[in-house]
Structure 1
Amino acid sequence: MTDLLDLDSISAQERYKLLSALVIPRPVAWVTTMDAQGVVNAAPYSFFNVFGQDPALIILGLQNKPDGSAKDTTRNIDATGEFVVNLATPALVADMVGTAASYDPGESEPTALGLKLASSGRVKPPRLADAPVAIECERMMALSLSAERSILLGRAVGLATRAGLVDTATMYVDWAGDYPVARLFADRYARLEEIERFGIPEPYRPEKNGEDRE
């Protein structure tokens, strides 16, 4: 038997509960931004992924406050056009979750929690120094989908990684087993580990009539 559910017949909160619990795991963007006064904000977002290489495209799903006003991350990106996506490993989960708490506008989560910051190479907002990866981004455009939800497209312009994580001669990445965490649902996160290499070769179809491969 299969259970069928019409998503248009249930509330938005119920749709969120179902979809976020079923579409798992999801990568987490631990986003740092800076306001016009230089106050640094940090917040995690699990509606996030990389969507291409030319341009190097980062997409964030941003949520407004219940009254429809923008949160600090959205407001800062709109004002400065820049942000940094930090990736957290298991040792950093408690700090990452701590930045999701409600802070007053103009209050810095990294300062309140004692998180170390480091300068970025291409953008003004700093990165989180203990994160193994920081992707520096410039705002491209945003789509407002409702009073609650918007989608932000950013172009990745810089990358800072933990020493030894990337071989810059070959662009080979070696996580050495210490992968970023992924979001499940509610207060649940997942550790990632490589369990098997399936050894299935990439499908290949010879070029036909001068057409490129799909």
Structure 2
Amino acid sequence: MNAPTSTSKPLLGAGLLTALAASLCCITPLLALVGGLGASASAFSWLEPFRPYLMALTVGVLGFAWYQKLKPAPATDDCGCAADAKPAFTQSRLFLGMVTGLAVLLLAFPYYGARLYPASPTAAPVLAANGATPVWQTATYRIAGMTCEACAQHVEHTVQQLPGVQAVTVSYAQGTAQVRFDAQKSPATQVEKAINGTGYQIITRN
């Protein structure tokens, strides 16, 4: 087996790791929602500033792996022996293509990850309890730590579960969440606790 081929496994492993690291900040919120671990959603948000570099490193590593795979192989190896005619599956172009495809899916996750979230329940009409008039409040929160649409979906889905919440609009680009709720059923402190419970912290409230 020639030397370039023997390096393919470490290259592929490094490519997948960098692709995963580049997307962890957006994959974690979905995993936290599915696993019921709300506070862990922002665990890897600190990686967001490094995402462009991790993406470039992934492309560079996989590009080099493809270069190693596609460049003409010598008829004999360094010892003068005939090179293996049929490499193992993990050394094949098919396997390299599969790893590359998986890396692309990981890198693109922030652009389609929000679609994988379960649909938020439709807000039902809020009925007054014991004849009491609902006490409607609309609050706008500035939130730190959101890095993609998946983060915003996580916050929105969590707050929508509270009783008395009529509408929730979350923007990761602006770092805000606007919530309209019945303060008799879910006081402002409960709404704030739900938002902070996702792992993204409220900075200010208007």
TM-score (structure 2 length as normaliser): 0.21
Q: Return the index of the structure with the highest Cα Rg.
A: 2
Identify the structure with bigger relative contact order (alpha carbons < 8 Å, sequence gap 6+).
2
Q: Which has the higher strand share?
A: 1
Q: Which has the higher helix share?
A: 2
